[in-house]
Chains A and B, each alone.
Chain A
Amino acid sequence: NAGVTQTPKFQVLKTGQSMTLQCAQDMNHNSMYWYRQDPGMGLRLIYYSASEGTTDKGEVPNGYNVSRLNKREFSLRLESAAPSQTSVYFCASSEDPGAARSYNSPLHFGNGTRLTVT
């Protein structure tokens, strides 16, 4: 099983350029997430999608857009990159808590995209 696959692994952008980070999971999970990881700040949620066709803002959504293309894929777009968006980006997925509201399902992470904006 591939699990969660992210592309690209590395990217360098100039300020103002745009790009899309791709994420796909093969575990039939409903919920998908985008996080950014910065030194000393842990992981911060950018956007999440509880199911196909729905997306919601997380802690740090400014400067980003997302698309839940289908159940498998959840992409993150930077329309006009800024140096403050230099970070490592992680996509994750998890089972849907469901009607029982049981939140014991762990997140499954991709290996990340290391983005540098100059």
Chain B
Amino acid sequence: AQSVAQPEDQVNVAEGNPLTVKCTYSVSGNPYLFWYVQYPNRGLQFLLKYITGDNLVKGSYGFEAEFNKSQTSFHLKKPSALVSDSALYFCAGRGYQKVTFGTGTKLQVIP
């Protein structure tokens, strides 16, 4: 069985400040982890994925994610937040034929 958890329903950050959106996972075997972003009235868009052996993964729009095996975490980060980053972010884990999503974290970037 696999699961992912996003402990924060909402994260607020000032424009220009670094942002972190948290995700923890529970999987047996190798973790296959992803981050997606959802803008209003749109489907989810792929941001980045964990690649085995890389503790820091770079993705679209300047986002990156830090993988920590000992803490079973895969946190999404960006060095400098933009107002246009305001959206709903989902962490996901993939196993055989199925993908499990976290409950989502709303990111609000304040001008």
Contacts and interface: CB of A to CB of B under 8 A. Distances in A.
A95 to B, nearest CB: 11
Interface in B54-111: 90, 92, 94-99, 101-104
A74 interface: no
A4 B45 CA distance: 12
The size bracket of the interface on A is 20 to 34
Contacts, number: 60
A108 B43 CA distance: 9
Q: Classify chain B: how many residues form its interface, as a range.
A: 20 to 34
Interface stretch (A65-73, A77-85, A99-107): A99-107
Interface string B41-54: 11111100101000
A112 B104 CA distance: 17
A109 B97 contact: no
B94 to A, nearest CB: 4
B43 A101 contact: no
B103 A45 contact: no
Interface of B is mostly: strand
Interface string A105-118: 11111111000000
B34 interface: yes
Given A42-B101, A43-B101, A58-B98, A106 B46 contact: yes
A53 interface: no
Contacts of B102: 42
Given A42-B103, A43-B101, A103 B94 contact: yes
A56 to B, nearest CB: 7
